[in-house]
Amino acid sequence: MHCRRFLLSALAILTISFALAFIIRVKEKRSEEHTANHSLQTVSQTTAVPVAARSPMEEWLGRWEFSECWPMLQGVGANCIQYEMNISNEGARTIADLDAVGFQTDSHVRGIVKLKKDGIKIVYVKVRESGLFDDAYKAGDGLFDLSSQNGKIVTTWEKLKPALDKNKSEGVRFERVN
């Protein structure tokens, strides 16, 4: 009996350690990107460049995040999945690099961003890095839409679905982080 409690406690500590390490990794990555972006902004502020009107697509450029967590079935701690998306221009097109990492999840895909009347659609193009479920999508699949509704960014899921049922409905999910 004492051995079982010890093992459950050890498992809980390992789970919490994994979750904390994951959160620290994400925060370090954001800090590195913020530093790089700040350096680029400093350079662009010292260089005189004519400013053109912003296109509707430019409003969607940047880093976006969504995370979901749920309690472990046994023991203490939580299971989490972190979704990170970077929308940027690549030549004449706008791309979305999406990473979903966490509990039984490891996906790194690239999508093309299509402008819609009230937002954007992320359409699957290819796998960027090998991970789990690499064959989950085919080229041209709509992954999800982001739209601006009453000042909020609303996600409408298509082929890509979050893990938790409560997050599968249309709603505010992704938030811009820069």
Residues 130, 114: Cα–Cα separation, whole Å: 25
Return averaged pLDDT per consecutive 10 residues of the chain, 178 residues in all.
44 42 50 45 42 77 96 79 96 95 90 95 90 77 96 95 94 95
Number of folded domains that form the chain: 1
Residues 45, 93: Cα–Cα separation, whole Å: 25
Residues 165, 106: Cα–Cα separation, whole Å: 19
In a domain, 32, yes or no: no
Sign for the pseudo-dihedral over CA of 157, 167, 22, 26 = positive
Q: What is residue 43's predicted lDDT score, i.e. its pLDDT?
A: 37
Residues 59, 44: Cα–Cα separation, whole Å: 18
In a domain, 18, yes or no: no
In a domain, 25, yes or no: no
* SS3 state of residue 73: coil
E strands, the chain, where? 62-71, 78-90, 93-102, 105-115, 119-129, 142-149, 152-157, 175-176
Non-local (6+) Cβ contacts of 172 within 8 A are: 152, 153, 154, 155
In a domain, 44, yes or no: no
Token pair recorded at residue 130? 């090998």
Q: What is residue 78's predicted lDDT score, i.e. its pLDDT?
A: 80
Sign for the pseudo-dihedral over CA of 167, 75, 14, 131 = negative
Residue closest to 147 by CA, chosen among 171, 167, 125, 112 = 171
Domain that holds residue 77: 53-176
Residue closest to 70 by CA, chosen among 8, 163, 157 = 163
CB 173 within 8 A of CB 162: yes
In a domain, 109, yes or no: yes
Q: What is residue 129's predicted lDDT score, i.e. its pLDDT?
A: 77
